[in-house]
Amino acid sequence: MNELIFIPLAGLGHLVSAIEFAKLVLNRDENNLCISVLVMKLPLDYGVQNFIQSLTSQPRLKFIDISLDEKTSSVFLNNHDSFLYDFIDGHKSNVREYVQNIPRLAGFVLDMFCTSMIDIANEFNVPSYIYFASNAAFLGFCLHFQALRNEQNLDTSKYINSDKELSIPYFKNPCPTKVLPKHLLNSRLASTLFFDGIRRFKETKGIIINTFFELESFSLQALMDSEIVPTIYPVGPVVSFAKSGHFRNNMSETESIIEWLDEQPDLSVVYLCFGSMGSFEAEQIKEIATALEHCGHRFLWSLRRSPPKGKIDIPSNYTNFEEVLPKGFLERTKGIGKVIGWAPQVAILSHKSVGGFVCHCGWNSILESVYFGVPIATWPLYAEQQMNAFLLVKELGIAKEISMDYVIDFEGKNNKVDIVSAEEIEGGLQRLMVKSEENEVRKKIKEMKEKSRVAMEDGGSSYTSLGLLINDVITNIS
Is the pTM for the entire model greater than 0.85?
yes
> Per-residue pLDDT for the chain (478 aa), expressed as one digit of tens each?
999 999 999 888 999 999 999 999 999 998 899 999 999 998 876 667 788 888 888 889 999 999 999 888 888 988 989 999 999 999 999 999 999 999 999 999 999 999 999 999 999 999 999 999 999 999 999 999 999 999 999 999 999 999 999 999 999 999 999 999 999 999 999 999 999 999 999 999 999 999 999 999 999 999 999 988 999 999 999 999 876 665 566 788 999 999 999 999 999 999 999 998 889 999 999 999 999 999 999 999 999 998 887 777 788 999 999 999 999 999 999 989 999 999 999 999 999 999 999 999 999 999 999 999 999 999 999 999 999 999 999 999 999 999 999 999 766 666 677 899 999 999 999 999 998 677 899 999 999 999 999 999 999 999 999 999 999 999 998 6
CA 380, 382, 385, 387 torsion-angle sign? positive
Q: What is the pLDDT of residue 9?
A: 95
What domains are there in the chain, each with its CATH number?
2-236+456-476 (3.40.50.2000), 251-452 (3.40.50.2000)
